Amino acid sequence: MKLLIATVLALAMMPAMADFSFRFGDAVVATGDSPATVIRKAGRDPDRIVRIENHHGAAVGERWEYYLDNKQVNFEIRDGRVVDIQELR
């Protein structure tokens, strides 16, 4: 029974994990990747970098924005790693 529950939970999480990656051609950027990996896989620097601040105004990360043909892709970088990827149309 425990194995069945664990399997169902793992399968339920799989679509959510797939949302935390983005494909630049043949290269895939995923959460956990470094900023250097994003640049290498994107083939260029981001179009815009926005500083992310906490409620005291201290920098806690950056949002790297890439403007592609018909969408914007944002990579949230904290502590030297991609922690979130958002695709906006």
How far is it, in rounded angstroms, from Cα 67 to Cα 69? 7
Going by pLDDT thresholds of 50, 70 and 90, the confidence category of residue 18 is very low
Six token digits for residue 41? 């896989």
**Domains in the chain, ordered, with CATH?**
21-88 (3.30.1450)
**In this model, does residue 59 exceed pLDDT 80?**
yes
Burial 12-29 (b: 16+ CB within 10 A, else e): eeeeeeeeeebebeeeeb
Are 53 and 60 spatial neighbours (Cβ–Cβ below 8 Å)? yes
More confident residue, 31 or 14: 31
Residue 19 has pLDDT above 60, yes or no: no
Query: How do beta strands 27-30 and 81-88 pair?
Result: unpaired
Give the Cα separation of 42 and 83 in Å (integer): 17
